[in-house]
């Protein structure tokens, strides 16, 4: 291995144990009935990546169809308006509910969180398995809804459109309801785990920042998701039995639905981004071989982002008919988000300063994250500012902004984290050269796809549009070509990651010189994680030579 | 840097649009500088501190002074930006009291507009330049959104309630308006032209009563039927012969009507027109003089339509 290990790294290389969590028991049933957090994490990983693949194919289809204003391709209409509406709804619903919300916490979080805490498992292993099956049930219901004819409501289910349109909307709503419970149980499990199962000597401020991020996420999952559940039940009742909650024809209020919906779905944005930030807080110190700058500020920033996320939902509704006073107050509160976000970016840069930085694939993704998150965050200012938001809201500017935050930040961090922990999860190193090439393609393709959309939006192109004026075609074409490059990069990633599974295990226990506890155990870990209970002796991210610290 | 603004933003149709653009461009440059700072630092550190075997990194856990600075400075900046946005938005939020009102009804997938004088149009708006115009909007089905990019305004249109949006157009010519809230299959086709007219053109537009009637030019009786329903005629005049507050229109054309002063009159164009504009002049026997005058309320093409409609009710 040519990987450079830093002086402070704990090098746990020892003969690879013959029995690990992957081969400790065999057969499909040993997986389906497992309560091992690592196996559940792997099952989630397979599940969310499948969802990502599906949602991604829909995205490529949308972009291909938008290549021309009339959706003509080789003399044929690629998608009709109805099909287009269904495809973008499926893309949004799959990506949000099936992929990105569970992506980091349920797959990487499940695998890594107990290891980082030096614990044997999560606090409630059976609940963990149950939440996986809830996820699977919800996913199957969503797919059945797709097969039955698909819904065309947009992922936001705005009333009264969603209560009056055709299609299996109720089934889709129930699917999302069940997925919500999967998310709640995962959050509950992680909160209990962090409170009760930390290794001896590990106080709150000795926890890796990944744990802080996942913990803050879990708090949101537990507190916000029930509101979505209640809202969706009300929606299903209205649709099925005509109980008037949201439809004005039945005496309801459609704006009330938006309040309920965003009361969950804005915090949900932080369910998505906080775990992404949490991964970056691991990658940057590790590959800079330098202690995390401003550790406490980072921990507080994660928690304050989680709290602030509950009081800014109205910024989705500046032109939606909420009271004007509410609009002003929500705009003011929204700017609070910028402060902890800024603190995080500055601290990451502060960690790189005077570091000893190497550029393995995870670090390339971390740097991509810094740049893309900066764009995603800064363009949020245009949308939080009242006068400019009125023009930009409901246009492609918003589409570009949230893709920079969701895809450009969260998914990029997820892929970075996947590479970072891949050796730990599988016992194998992926091909570093292909990793760097794919990261470059993803970065270029992503920016081509979405940077153009800021200008489409500012020029006045509304979102969710099937036909569009000819003047927008140039930018749409660039965006579509970008989506091919992005897709190519992601398919290459899938290919070399899968290819790495064919070779014998070659990963050292601590390939990157990480300082957190998951690197103390073997790669892949044994069934019960550690041969003996690890004890915290040094704080995480302590890269001083071991001798000097004694 | 006007070319940059002109490329990023649609043409400016009002003074308010120019003001929004000024804020937008201000934020653009501010964000550009901050982005270059962040990306530049990341790039510089990546190069300057690239991996060297054996390099020991300092154990800098924090720097309180620095951290306070990068917490407080962005906070102050954000407060400033908030008020900048608020200042512009207040103009959008509060329409002047003397603004002309246009009623908007949105439905899948078209726009209906009604002017103060009863003029109606579909998917087309004419407004006089340099006068504030306020749109009072409601929806018949799902949520829509009235978006006029050139004026930099939009607002959702909600069934079961009224929302408002206003602007003072200053640039003559056509500006596109379009639906910005997803409403199904025809969402992206739900657009039309806002025509900002000089006073002469606007007066001409009002005279002809908009464009809706043009599609009925060759079917004036149908145009009359629409007027019969819209203008309240149906409240008192039946079209099936049944007695109501006024004489039924069924079979009335070219009939000799007996009046309450004992004379008779032939129901022809002159009489019908007189009855609409000066209803008290001749009262049919057995009915009370309760009809309001439609003088100045009905346009000539509407009256002609009504007459054609009455003619058709044989």
Residues forming a β-bridge with B125: B194
Residue B177 has pLDDT above 90, yes or no: yes
Give B74-116 pLDDT, tens digit per residue.
999 999 999 999 999 999 999 999 999 999 999 988 899 999 8
Write the residue in B85, B158, B181 that is nearest to A386 by C-beta. B85
Cα A541 from Cα A285, distance rounded (Å): 6
What are all long-range contacts of B278-287, with beta carbons under 8 Å and residues at least 24 apart? B283/B259, B284/B246, B284/B247, B284/B257, B284/B258, B284/B259, B284/B260, B285/B257, B285/B258, B285/B259, B285/B260, B286/B260, B287/B245, B287/B246, B287/B247, B287/B260
Distance from CA of B23 to the nearest CA of A (A): 7
Alpha helices, DSSP H, located in A459-522: 473-500
Give A34-70 pLDDT, tens digit per residue.
999 999 999 999 999 999 999 999 999 999 999 999 8
Indicate the pLDDT class of residue A3, thresholds 50, 70 and 90.
very low
Residue A550 has pLDDT above 60, yes or no: no
Write the residue in B8, B153, B178 that is nearest to A462 by C-beta. B178
pLDDT of residue A11: 53
- Whether chain A has a CB inside 8 Å of the CB on B58: the answer is yes
Secondary structure of A145-205 in HEC code, one letter for each residue: HHHCCCCCCCCCCCCCHHHHCCCCHHHHHHHHHHHHHHHHHHHHHHHHHHHHCCCCCCCHH
Question: Which chain B positions have a beta carbon within 8 Å of A462's beta carbon?
Answer: 147, 178-180, 188
Cα B223 from Cα B214, distance rounded (Å): 9
CB contact under 8 A, B189 and A385: no
CB contact under 8 A, A356 and B52: yes
Task: Name which of B50, B51, B81, B94 to mutate to probe chain A: the one with the most chain A Cβ atoms within 10 A of its Cβ.
Answer: B51
Indicate the pLDDT class of residue A72, thresholds 50, 70 and 90.
confident
- Whether chain A has a CB inside 8 Å of the CB on B11: the answer is no
pLDDT of residue A6: 44
What mean pLDDT is predicted for residues A81-105? Answer: 94
pLDDT of residue A547: 57
Write the residue in A320, A349, A359 that is nearest to B45 by C-beta. A349
Distance from CA of B172 to the nearest CA of A (A): 19
What mean pLDDT is predicted for residues A176-196? Answer: 96
Question: Which chain B positions have a beta carbon within 8 Å of A388's beta carbon?
Answer: 20, 23-24, 27, 85, 88
Cα B141 from Cα B109, distance rounded (Å): 10
For residues A218, A223, A225, A227, the Cα torsion angle rounded to the nearest 10 degrees is: -170
* Distant-in-sequence, close-in-space partners of A83: CB < 8 Å, separation ≥ 6: none
pLDDT of residue A549: 41
Write the residue in A289, A331, A455 that is nearest to B85 by C-beta. A331
Determine the length of chain A: 550
What does pLDDT average to over chain B?
91
Residues forming a β-bridge with B112: B105, B122
Write the residue in B8, B27, B181 that is nearest to A394 by C-beta. B181
Distance from CA of A8 to the nearest CA of B (A): 9
| Tokens, residue A304 | 């304050």
Q: Which part of chain B is CATH 1.10.760.10?
A: 214-312
B-chain residue closest to A301, CA distance: B71
**Which residue in this structure is represented by tokens 């028991």?**
A25
> Per-residue b/e over A7-24, b at no fewer than 16 CB within 10 Å?
bbbbeeeeeeeeebbbee
CB contact under 8 A, B149 and A85: no
Give A289-335 pLDDT, tens digit per residue.
999 999 999 999 999 999 999 999 999 999 999 999 999 999 999 99
Question: Which chain B positions have a beta carbon within 8 Å of A469's beta carbon?
Answer: 176
Distance from CA of B24 to the nearest CA of A (A): 6
Please report, rounded to a whole number, the percentage of residues in chain B having pLDDT higher than 70.
99
- Whether chain A has a CB inside 8 Å of the CB on B85: the answer is yes
CATH class entry, domain B2-48+63-93: mainly alpha
Q: What are the distances in angstroms from CA B173 to CA B22, B127, B202?
A: 23, 10, 12
Please state the separation of Cα A491 from the chain's center in Å.
19
Please state the separation of Cα B37 from the chain's center in Å.
43
| Tokens, residue A272 | 């998505």
Which one-letter DSSP state was computed for residue B297?
T
Cα A207 from Cα A1, distance rounded (Å): 29
Distance from CA of B280 to the nearest CA of A (A): 41
Residue A4 has pLDDT above 50, yes or no: no
More confident residue, B245 or A266: A266
What mean pLDDT is predicted for residues A330-357? Answer: 96
Q: What are the distances in angstroms from CA B85 to CA A359, A380, A518, B24, B92?
A: 41, 13, 47, 9, 11
Domains in chain A with CATH codes: 29-549 (1.20.210.10)
First to last CA, chain B: 70
- Tell me the CB-side half-sphere exposure of residue B33, using CA atoms within 13 A: 5
Angle at B197 between CA B196 and CA B202, to 5 degrees: 130
Residue B30 has φ and ψ, to the nearest 5°, of -60, -50
CB contact under 8 A, B152 and A391: yes
Q: Which of residues 187-246 of B touch A (CB under 8 A)?
A: 187-189
CB contact under 8 A, B58 and A290: yes
Residue A2 has pLDDT above 60, yes or no: no
Indicate the pLDDT class of residue A498, thresholds 50, 70 and 90.
very high
pLDDT of residue B119: 81
Distance from CA of A445 to the nearest CA of B (A): 18
Q: Which part of chain B is CATH 1.10.287.90?
A: 2-48+63-93
Closest CA to B229 of B140, B295, B302, B301: B302
Distance from CA of A118 to the nearest CA of B (A): 23
> Helices A254-288 and A295-308 sit at what angle, rounded to 10 degrees?
170
pLDDT of residue A5: 46
- Tell me the CB-side half-sphere exposure of residue B142, using CA atoms within 13 A: 22
Cα B314 from Cα A67, distance rounded (Å): 57
Distance from CA of B90 to the nearest CA of A (A): 8
pLDDT of residue A7: 43
Give B266-296 pLDDT, tens digit per residue.
999 999 999 999 998 899 988 888 888 888 7
Question: Which chain B positions have a beta carbon within 8 Å of A292's beta carbon?
Answer: 61
What does pLDDT average to over chain A?
93
Residue B114 has φ and ψ, to the nearest 5°, of -130, 130
Q: Which part of chain B is CATH 2.60.40.420?
A: 100-208
| Tokens, residue B175 | 């500006």
* Distant-in-sequence, close-in-space partners of A451: CB < 8 Å, separation ≥ 6: A375, A400
Question: Which chain B positions have a beta carbon within 8 Å of A327's beta carbon?
Answer: 89, 93
- Asked whether A475 and A455 are in contact (CB, 8 A), the reply is yes
Task: Name which of B3, B20, B42, B164 to mutate to probe chain A: the one with the most chain A Cβ atoms within 10 A of its Cβ.
Answer: B42
Write the residue in B63, B153, B182 that is nearest to A390 by C-beta. B153
| Tokens, residue B211 | 């464009």
- Asked whether B166 and B99 are in contact (CB, 8 A), the reply is yes
Q: Which of residues 240-299 of B touch A (CB under 8 A)?
A: none
Task: Name which of B29, B53, B187 to mutate to probe chain A: the one with the most chain A Cβ atoms within 10 A of its Cβ.
Answer: B187
- Asked whether A443 and A416 are in contact (CB, 8 A), the reply is no
Secondary structure of A373-428 in HEC code, one letter for each residue: HHHHHHHHHHHHCHHHHHHHCCEHHHHHHHHHHHHHHHHHHHHHHHHHHHHHHHCC
B-chain residue closest to A385, CA distance: B85
Secondary structure of B101-135 in HEC code, one letter for each residue: EEEEEEECCEEEEECCCCCEEECEEEEECCCCEEE
Write the residue in A290, A292, A343 that is nearest to B70 by C-beta. A343
Closest CA to A42 of A114, A90, A111: A111
- Asked whether A344 and A303 are in contact (CB, 8 A), the reply is no
The region of weakest confidence among A8-17, A477-486, B163-172 is A8-17
- Whether chain A has a CB inside 8 Å of the CB on B65: the answer is no
Closest CA to A393 of A307, A458, A321: A458
- ipTM for the complex? 0.92
Compute the Cα dihedral for A394, A397, A398, A400 and give only its sign. Answer: positive
CB contact under 8 A, B20 and A391: yes
* Distant-in-sequence, close-in-space partners of A399: CB < 8 Å, separation ≥ 6: A450, A453, A457, A463
What mean pLDDT is predicted for residues B173-196? Answer: 94
Give A353-367 pLDDT, tens digit per residue.
999 999 999 999 999
- Whether chain A has a CB inside 8 Å of the CB on B49: the answer is yes
Cα A508 from Cα A519, distance rounded (Å): 9
Cα B202 from Cα B129, distance rounded (Å): 9
CATH superfamily, with its number, for domain B100-208: Cupredoxins -  blue copper proteins (2.60.40.420)
| Tokens, residue B109 | 């997938």
pLDDT of residue B150: 97
Cα B20 from Cα A132, distance rounded (Å): 48
Give A270-296 pLDDT, tens digit per residue.
999 999 999 999 999 999 999 999 999
Distance from CA of B25 to the nearest CA of A (A): 10
Write the residue in B58, B180, B182 that is nearest to A154 by C-beta. B182
Give A408-466 pLDDT, tens digit per residue.
999 999 999 999 999 999 999 999 999 999 999 999 999 999 999 999 999 999 999 99
Which CATH architecture describes the domain B214-312?
Orthogonal Bundle (1.10)
Q: Which of residues 153-182 of B touch A (CB under 8 A)?
A: 153-156, 158-161, 163, 176, 178-182
More confident residue, A15 or A85: A85
CB contact under 8 A, B142 and A160: yes
Task: Name which of B16, B142, B190, B193 to mutate to probe chain A: the one with the most chain A Cβ atoms within 10 A of its Cβ.
Answer: B142
> Per-residue b/e over A198-207, b at no fewer than 16 CB within 10 Å?
bbeebeeeeb
**Which residue in this structure is represented by tokens 């998505």?**
A272
Q: Specify which of A22-26, A161-165, A348-352 reaches the highest per-range mean pLDDT.
A: A348-352
Task: Name which of A387, A397, A470 to mutate to probe chain B: the one with the most chain B Cβ atoms within 10 A of its Cβ.
Answer: A387
For residues B103, B107, B112, B116, the Cα torsion angle rounded to the nearest 10 degrees is: -20
Distance from CA of B128 to the nearest CA of A (A): 23
Give A150-174 pLDDT, tens digit per residue.
789 999 999 889 888 888 888 989 9
Question: Which chain A positions have a beta carbon within 8 Å of B185's beta carbon?
Answer: 81-82, 85
Question: Which chain B positions have a beta carbon within 8 Å of A371's beta carbon?
Answer: 38-39, 42
- Whether chain A has a CB inside 8 Å of the CB on B86: the answer is yes
What mean pLDDT is predicted for residues A481-493? Answer: 97
pLDDT of residue A548: 43
Write the residue in A289, A324, A357 that is nearest to B93 by C-beta. A324
Residue A225 has pLDDT above 90, yes or no: yes
Tell me: cis bond preceding B279? Omega within 30 of 0 counts.
no
Cα A289 from Cα A6, distance rounded (Å): 6
């Amino acid at each position: 291995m040519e990987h450079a290990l830093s002086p402070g790294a704990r090098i746990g290389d020892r003969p690879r144990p013959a029995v690990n969590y992957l081969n400790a028991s065999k057969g499909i049933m040993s997986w389906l009935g497992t309560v091992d957090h690592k196996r559940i994490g792997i099952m989630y990983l397979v599940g969310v990546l499948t969802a990502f693949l599906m949602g991604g194919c829909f995205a490529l289809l949308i972009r291909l169809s938008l290549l021309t204003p009339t959706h003509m391709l080789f003399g044929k209409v690629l998608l009709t308006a109805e099909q287009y509406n269904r495809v973008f709804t499926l893309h949004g619903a799959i990506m949000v509910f099936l992929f990105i919300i569970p992506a980091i916490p349920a797959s990487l979080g499940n695998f890594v969180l107990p290891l980082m805490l030096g614990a044997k498992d999560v606090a409630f292993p059976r609940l963990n398995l149950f939440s996986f099956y809830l996820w699977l049930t919800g996913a199957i219901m969503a797919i059945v809804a797709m097969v039955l004819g698909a819904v065309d409501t947009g992922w936001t289910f705005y009333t009264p459109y969603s209560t009056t349109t055709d299609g299996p909307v109720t089934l889709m709503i129930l699917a999302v309801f069940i997925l919500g419970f999967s998310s709640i149980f995962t959050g509950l499990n992680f909160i209990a785990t962090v409170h009760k199962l930390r290794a001896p000597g590990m106080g709150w401020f000795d926890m890796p920042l990944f744990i802080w991020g996942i913990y803050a996420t879990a708090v949101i999952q537990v507190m916000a998701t029930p509101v979505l559940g209640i809202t969706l039940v009300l929606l299903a009742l209205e649709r099925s039995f005509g109980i008037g909650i949201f439809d004005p024809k039945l005496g309801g209020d459609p704006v009330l639905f938006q309040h309920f919906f965003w009361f969950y779905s804005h915090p949900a944005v932080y369910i998505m981004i906080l775990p992404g930030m949490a991964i970056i807080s691991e990658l940057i110190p590790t590959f800079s071989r330098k202690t995390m700058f401003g550790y406490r500020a980072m921990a507080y920033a994660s928690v304050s982002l989680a709290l602030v996320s509950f009081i800014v939902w109205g910024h989705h509704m500046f032109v939606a008919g909420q009271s004007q006073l509410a609009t002003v107050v929500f705009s003011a509160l929204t700017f609070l988000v910028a402060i902890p976000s800024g603190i995080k970016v500055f601290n990451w840069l502060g960690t790189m300063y005077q570091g000893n930085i190497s550029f393995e694939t995870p670090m390339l993704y971390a740097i991509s994250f810094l740049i893309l998150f900066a764009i995603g965050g800064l363009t949020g200012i245009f949308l939080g500012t009242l006068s400019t938001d009125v023009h930009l809201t409901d246009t492609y500017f918003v589409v570009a902004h949230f893709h920079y935050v969701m895809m450009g930040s969260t998914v990029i961090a997820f892929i970075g984290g996947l590479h970072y922990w891949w050796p730990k999860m599988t016992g194998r190193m992926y091909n570093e050269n292909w990793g760097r090439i794919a990261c470059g393609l993803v970065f270029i393709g992503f920016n081509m796809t979405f940077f153009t959309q800021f200008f489409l939006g500012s020029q006045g192109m509304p979102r969710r549009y099937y036909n569009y004026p000819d003047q927008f075609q140039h930018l749409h074409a660039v965006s579509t070509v970008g989506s091919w490059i992005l897709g190519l990069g992601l398919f290459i990633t899938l290919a070399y990651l899968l290819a790495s599974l064919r070779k014998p295990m070659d990963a050292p226990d601590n390939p990157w010189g990480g300082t957190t506890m998951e690197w103390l155990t073997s790669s892949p870990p044994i069934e019960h994680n550690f041969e003996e209970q690890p004890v915290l002796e040094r704080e995480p991210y302590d890269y001083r030579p071991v001798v000097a610290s004694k | 840097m006007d070319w940059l603004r002109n490329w990023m933003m649609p043409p400016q149709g009002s003074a308010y649009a120019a003001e929004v653009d000024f804020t937008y461009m201000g934020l653009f440059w501010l964000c550009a500088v901050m982005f270059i700072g962040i990306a530049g630092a990341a790039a510089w550190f990546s190069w300057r501190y690239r991996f060297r075997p054996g390099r020991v990194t300092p154990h800098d856990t924090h720097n309180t002074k620095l951290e306070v600075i990068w917490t407080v400075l962005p906070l102050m900046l954000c407060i400033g930006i908030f008020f900048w946005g608020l200042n512009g938005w207040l103009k959008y939020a509060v329409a002047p009291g003397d603004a002309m009102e246009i009623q908007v009804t949105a439905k899948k997938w078209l726009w209906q507009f009604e002017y103060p004088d009863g003029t109606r149009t579909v998917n087309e708006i004419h407004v006089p330049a340099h006068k504030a115009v306020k749109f009072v909007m409601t929806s018949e089905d799902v949520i829509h959104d009235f978006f006029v990019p050139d004026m930099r305004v939009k607002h959702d249109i909600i069934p079961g309630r009224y929302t408002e949006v206003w602007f003072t157009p200053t640039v003559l010519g056509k500006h596109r308006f379009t639906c910005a809230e997803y409403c199904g299959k025809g969402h992206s086709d739900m657009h039309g032209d806002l025509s900002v007219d000089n006073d002469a053109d606007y007066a001409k537009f009002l005279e002809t009563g908009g464009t809706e009637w043009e599609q009925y030019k060759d079917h004036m009786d149908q145009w009359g039927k629409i007027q019969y329903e819209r203008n309240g005629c149906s409240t008192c005049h039946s079209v099936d012969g049944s007695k109501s507050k006024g004489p039924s229109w069924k079979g009335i054309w070219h009939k000799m009507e007996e009046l309450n002063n004992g004379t008779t009159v032939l129901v022809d164009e002159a009489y019908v027109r007189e009855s609409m504009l000066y209803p008290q002049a001749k009262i049919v026997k057995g009915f009370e003089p309760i009809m309001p005058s439609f003088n100045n309320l009905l346009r000539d093409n509407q009256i002609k339509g009504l007459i054609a409609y009455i003619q058709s009710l044989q």
